[in-house]
Structure 1
Amino acid sequence: MMHIMRKTQTNIRAAAKEASHERIVQAAARAIRRSGYDGTGVADIMKEAGLTHGAFYAHFESREAMLAEAADRAGAESNAFAARVIAAAPPEQALQALMQTYLSKEHLAGIETGCPVSALGSEMPRQSPEVRRAATRRIKEMIDLVARQSPDWGQPGAHERALVTVSTMVGTLMLARAVDDPALSDALCSAALKRLAPSGA
Structure 2
Amino acid sequence: MTATERDPAPERARRLDRDWWREHSELGVCALLGAAGVLVLVDSLLGTNAGSDSDPLGPHAVPTVLGIGLLLLAVLLAVDVLRGGHGEAEAGEDVELGTPPDLRAVGMLAGLVVATALLIPVLGWPLAGTGLFWGAASVLGARSFPRDLLVAAGISLLAWVVFDALLGVDLPGGPLMGVF
Higher gyration radius (CA): 2
Q: Which has the higher contact order (CA 8 A, sep 6+)?
A: 1
TM-score (normalizing by structure 2): 0.28
Normalising by structure 1, report the TM-score.
0.26
Identify, as 1 or 2, the structure richer in helix: 1
